[in-house]
Copies of this chain bind each other. A is one copy, B any other.
Amino acid sequence: MAKSNPPFMSGVPELLLLRLLQTREMYGYELVRSIREVTGEAISLGEGVIYPVLHSLERNGSLKSKRKPVGGRTRVYYALTRKGRDRLAKLQGDWHRIQTGIATALESPGHA
């Protein structure tokens, strides 16, 4: 029954979403393309990843959403809350830590 910790490098999709929403409100479909773009095609997350993360972030209060009809379609725009900003700061710290750790490991001595 022991609840295991999340895998040590998870939470990157969440991090990217929160970071993008820090700049401005965006909707799901837009975020999918945006992530591919801002990461220089290095990371491509499908809708099957984005939407569930968005929903869980909203459930836990990191995001708030509002629906906007545009043309005949409806867009759901997401914005950061206070809690979301805190969450973003935490994830950025986590990421920085492991990224630095890996860099250290890779650069260290002998490429003998």
Which positions in A face B, CB cutoff 8 Å? 8-9, 12, 15-16, 19-20, 22-24, 35, 38-45, 92, 95, 97-106, 108-112
Contacts of A9 on B, CB cut-off 8 Å?
Answer: 9, 12
Given contacts A9-B9, A9-B12, A12-B9, contact A102 B23 (CB under 8 A): no
Please state the number of chain copies in the assembly.
Answer: 2
Cα distance A38–B108 when bound, in Å? 8
In Å, the complex CA distance between A44 and B19 comes to 26
Cβ B42 vs Cβ A98 within 8 A: yes
Residues on the B chain within 8 Å of A8, using CB: 12, 43-45
The A interface is mostly helix, strand or loop, or mixed, namely: helix
| Contact for A99 among B38, B99, B108, B109, CB less than 8 A | B99
Tell me if B99 and A35 are in contact (CB < 8 A). Answer: no
A111: which B residues are within 8 A, CB to CB? 22
